[in-house]
Amino acid sequence: MAFWQSRSETTKGYATVAPPLLYAFFLLAVPLGAVLVLSFWSQEFQTIDRTFTLANYREALSDPLYRLLLWRSVKIAGATTIVTVLLAFPIAYFVSFHVPPHKKSLWIFLITIPFWTSYLIRVFLWKVILGYGGVLNSALMGLGVIDEPMTFLLYNANSVVITLAHAFAPFAILPIFVSLEKIDRSLLEASRDLGESTAMTFLRVTLPLAAPGVIAAILIVFIPTVGDYVTPRLVGGPDGTMIANMIQVQFLQLSNAPLGSALAVLAMLTVTVVALIVSLGIGRLVRAPK
């Protein structure tokens, strides 16, 4: 009896998780496995040679161009993350601490407005703003602040960072906001009561307690931006090209899917390493004692 019961319970359990499990398997695990397998094969003109080889990795790691692109991707994503989190924190802090409770959801709603337009359109808009004859340059020239258009704004790493920082701002604001909301306000009063100024209270109480949100924000911004393809393609120019653009070139223009796969695997490994360092390193600095 118990045997049948437990068996039917198990069956029911599998039936319940089957749809998302199948979805995750065919749309996440299978493509990921395919990329991994592909990266150990090689391209022979039109066909793929299915013998195991490390040649793609050797090439990816020895060619300075790939190293440069990967390193640049990490730098641009890192800069984007720092800019985004530094700008997001004050916004989240303001909404959590200085907006009346009944207006908070309205503020959060307003912060998500950038999501209402397509990502692609937002990137194009930055092109219009930052371009040679764009909004920013015309305005500053019209005001007489500058004599000729600034060229360092568009088609380089700066424009990629600006565009990505804008696109990912809500992703950083929301987790930080949530972690600030969870802080018991009497803790801040207790710190004041024990003799600490507002600034020291922020450093000794607010910031450590908001750390989980900050770590989440760092990861949420960094991980997708390392592999971003659209923004560097549209506003990056030659100096703003990132690893994802090279992967796309390998797959679609040079027809070298195995090398593209190897680059993709290396990019994923880099992200994994950085994510681990961030979550373990920063986590340890502020983690509650055991």
Residues in contact with another protein by the rule CB under 8 A: 184, 186-187, 189-197, 200, 204-205, 208-209, 286-290
Provide, rounded to whole angstroms, the least separation between the CB of residue 33 and another protein: 41
In 3-state terms, what secondary structure has residue 43? strand
- Between residues 121 and 288, which has the closer beta carbon with respect to another protein? 288
Min. distance of Cβ 215 from another protein in angstroms?
Answer: 14
Beta carbon nearer to another protein, 12 or 185 = 185
Q: Please, what is the minimum distance in Å from the beta carbon of residue 188 to another protein?
A: 9
Q: Which of 133, 128, 125, 163 is nearest to 151 (CA)?
A: 133
Whichever of 2 and 288 has its CB closer to another protein, that residue is 288
Cα distance between residue 202 and residue 29, in whole Å = 43
* H/E run at residue 48: strand 47-49
- Which contacts (CB < 8 Å, 24+ apart) does range 276-285 have? 278/215, 278/218, 278/219, 278/222, 279/215, 279/219, 282/211, 282/214, 282/215, 282/218, 283/211, 283/215, 285/211
The residue (of 113 and 194) whose beta carbon lies closer to another protein is 194
Nearer to another protein, 169 or 209 (CB): 209
3-state secondary structure of 252: helix
Q: How far is the CB of 278 from another protein (least distance, A)?
A: 19
CB of 183 to another protein, least distance (A): 9
Report how far apart the first and last C-alpha atoms of the chain are (Å, whole number). 45
